[in-house]
Structures are given as C-alpha cells and as structure tokens.
Chains A and B, each alone.
Chain A
Amino acid sequence: MRWLWLPLALLGIAAMAYGVHLGQHTWVRSHAMTLCTACIGLE
C-alpha cells in the first residue's frame, strides 16, 4: 500500500490529460459560465 498513491496519481493525471485532449475542460467551462439555477434554488 505504500506505493499505491503513485499509480493512482499517474492514472488521475493521465485521465485528466486525456479529458483535456477531448476538450472536456471547455465543456466544464461552458457549464460554469452559465448560471446554475438549480444550484441556487430558482424555479
């Protein structure tokens, strides 16, 4: 268990990088730029 953090961190970084490659960060940004009415309880 001592080194488990290393493959987990590498897997996370690889997933993050591939997500960026797929453009998912722009999708996240577009959602963050839109006001989430559900988050603030508007009907």
Chain B
Amino acid sequence: MADGDAQRVPLYLRIRRHVQLAAAFLVNARFLIDLRGVCFPVLNCWACPTAGVACPLGALQDSMPALRASLLAPLYILGTMLAASALIGRAMCGWLCPFGLVQDLLGRLRRRHWRLPRWAGYFKYVTLVGLALIVPYLTWEPWFCKLCPQGALQGSIFQPIVQPQLREALGGWWVLKIGILVAFLVSFVLIRRPFCHAFCPLGAIFSLCNGVSFIRMHYDRDKCTDCMWCVRECPAGIDPRRDLGSNVCVSCMECAKCPFGAIRVTTALARAQVSSGLGSEEAEQ
C-alpha cells in the first residue's frame, strides 16, 4: 500500500482477526452463556466441552431419522442457514467460523502456498449431499461428524481430557479421526483454506447464496491494474478478479483492501452490481 493512490482501509476491514477471535471465544463460552438450542451457522463441534451453541451440520444429520420417519423437515436448522446466507453469504466462513480461523492462522506459517484448482470447489457439494445428507438419511448415523476434523480438534482431544472415563472407549475410529485432523492441519500450512475450498458442507450451503446475498463484493475492472495484490493476499487462495462471490470465495473481504480500490464491499441496495469474471465491464447504473 505504499502507492500514492492507496485507498484508506475502512476500520471494519482491519478488525477481521479480532472478530474471528471473539466469535471463536463466544461460541465456545458455555461457562458464560449456554445457547445450545441455537444453531449458530459456523462449523463448531457441539461435542466440545466448552461449546455454547449447536452445530447446524450435526443437527442436520441428527434430524435425518425424524425426516425419514415422519417427513418432518428440519425447518429451524435449514431456515437459520438460509437466512444467514441470504444476508451475508459466506462471510460466516471468512469472519466467524472458528475452523476458518485455525486455517488462517496456520496458513500464516508459510509465505508461499499451493493453490487448489477451481474445480476442487465443487467437491464440497459431494461432501454435503453424500456425507451430510444421503448417508445419514440411509444409515441414521452422522457420518460427516464421524470424520469431521473440527470434531476431532474440539471434541476428540478435549473430551477424554475432561472426562477420563471416556478414555476406555478410545479405539481405531478415534485414531482415524486424529489422523484426518493431523492431515488437515498439515494441509492448512501448505494450502490456503483447503477445507473451506473443497470439503466443508456448511460452506457448500452458504456458497449457494454467496453471489446474491445482501452483503456482496464489487470488482471494478476499470480500476484494476492487474498488480496481483489481491491474488497474493487472498486467504482463500483464489483469484478475486475472477472468483469474487463464487462458491470458493469465503467473503473474508481482505481483497477489499485493494490499494487501487478495484474491489470493495457493497450491499444489494447499492446501485452497482456484483462483478465476477475478468474483463466484465459492469458499470455503475
């Protein structure tokens, strides 16, 4: 941002890490306030000893027996996710998700990162439909939870510590979960937000509204100098010039710090439209 034309970065874009830390603390502050009836739309395992809110994915999978037995749709869970994603898209992933924070922090350990191909972003829909919907519907077992690295990080490690009687039940499945967690933690250092990009079913749900949510991003091709600043800085490892508001964008809004003001945060009420795609010339109406 040493350029003379550097834009002044708004305060709200400078406090993302603080918001992430505060959110991670608050959803795990059962000792302060117990809101386990509330599905807070982030990936935060409710098996964690300190979890103060319900995991929407865990609740969605646990609702499958009721759906199968009585066709009672989990309206509360689905409505919560739909309302949240319609209002702020995937900003939950970029600003509030504790697992996103873990990925961001580990990603800072290395300067250069590998990038996942864009098509890998569609794999999270396979995870959503397969592991979080169809298989739990057929087997009445929360199969995504059984493999979830966030559950391993928060529950598998801490529950046996605070409840020693659980240690007798640790076995091969626990070892597998810890192995998955370790593999993901290593990948977080090497690749930017790989779990959000290709695996998170919750991110898959939120990404459906990412381009049409109330809060959205605007790319101004005319102001862009192709300096690649946004590509280097993007915590999700995408090219914001092309993938802004797409299913792989986590709406962290880091690219809105663009020195040339080519990318900015806007709302659906603004007269400018969301632009996604190199070379698109979407002028302000």
Give the residue of B83, B178, B211 whose beta carbon is less than 8 angstroms from that of A16. B83
Q: What 0/1 readout, one digit per residue, does chain B (164-198) give for beta carbons within 8 Å of chain A? A: 00100111111111100000000000000000000
B47 touches A39 (CB 8 A): yes
Q: Do residues A35 and B47 form an inter-chain contact, with CB atoms below 8 A?
A: yes
Please determine whether B79 and A31 come into contact, CB atoms closer than 8 angstroms. no
Distance from B168 Cβ to chain A, minimum over Cβ atoms (Å): 9
Residues of B within 8 A of A40 (CB): 47, 151-152, 155-156, 159-160, 166, 174, 177
**CB pair B82 A12 closer than 8 Å:** yes
The distance from the CB of A8 to the nearest CB of chain B, in whole angstroms, is: 4
Residues of A within 8 A of B148 (CB): 39
B96 — which chain A residues lie within 8 A by C-beta?
none
B229 within 8 A of A: no
Chain A 1-43 interface residues, beta-carbon cutoff 8 Å to B: 1-6, 8-9, 11-20, 22, 24-29, 31-33, 35-43
Please state if B166 and A8 are interface contacts (CB–CB under 8 Å).
no
Interface centre among B37, B54, B84, B178 (most CB of A within 10 A): B37
Query: Which residues does chain B contribute within 8 Å of A32, judged by CB atoms?
Result: 36-37, 46, 51, 53-55, 58-59
Q: Which residues of chain A are near B36, meaning CB under 8 Å? A: 28-29, 32-33
Q: How far is the CA of A30 from the CA of B218 in the complex (A)?
A: 42
Cβ of A15 and Cβ of B59 under 8 Å apart? no
Closest chain-A Cβ to B48's Cβ sits at a distance in Å of 9
CB of B280 closer than 8 Å to a CB of A: no
**1/0 contact trace for B233-245 toward A, CB 8 Å?**
0000000000000
Q: Which of A5, A18, A24 contacts B77 (CB 8 A)?
A: A24
- Distance from A5 Cβ to chain B, minimum over Cβ atoms (Å): 4
Contact B82 A15 (CB under 8 A): yes
Distance between B89 CB and nearest chain A CB, rounded to angstroms? 9
Query: How far apart are the CA atoms of A29 and B54 in the complex, in Å?
Result: 7
Residues from chain A with Cβ under 8 Å of B80 in the complex: 12, 16
Residues of A within 8 A of B62 (CB): 31
Interface pair B79/A19, CB less than 8 Å apart: yes
Q: Are B83 and A39 in contact (CB under 8 A)?
A: no
- A10–B64 alpha-carbon span in the complex (Å): 25
Taking CB atoms, residues of chain A closer than 8 Å to B75 are 15-16, 18-19, 22, 24
State the CA gap A41–B74 with chains docked (Å).
25
Please tell me if the beta carbons of A5 and B174 are within 8 angstroms of each other in the complex.
Answer: no
B224 in contact (CB, < 8 A): no
Q: Given A31-B59, A32-B54, A41-B146, is A8 in contact with B209 using a C-beta cutoff of 8 Å?
A: yes
17 new A-B contacts, CB < 8 A, other than A15-B76, A32-B55, are A6-B268, A8-B212, A12-B81, A12-B83, A15-B75, A16-B79, A24-B74, A28-B39, A31-B54, A32-B54, A38-B141, A39-B46, A39-B151, A40-B160, A41-B152, A41-B170, A43-B171
10 contacts between A and B (CB under 8 A): A8-B85, A9-B87, A12-B86, A16-B75, A22-B75, A27-B66, A28-B76, A39-B47, A39-B146, A40-B155
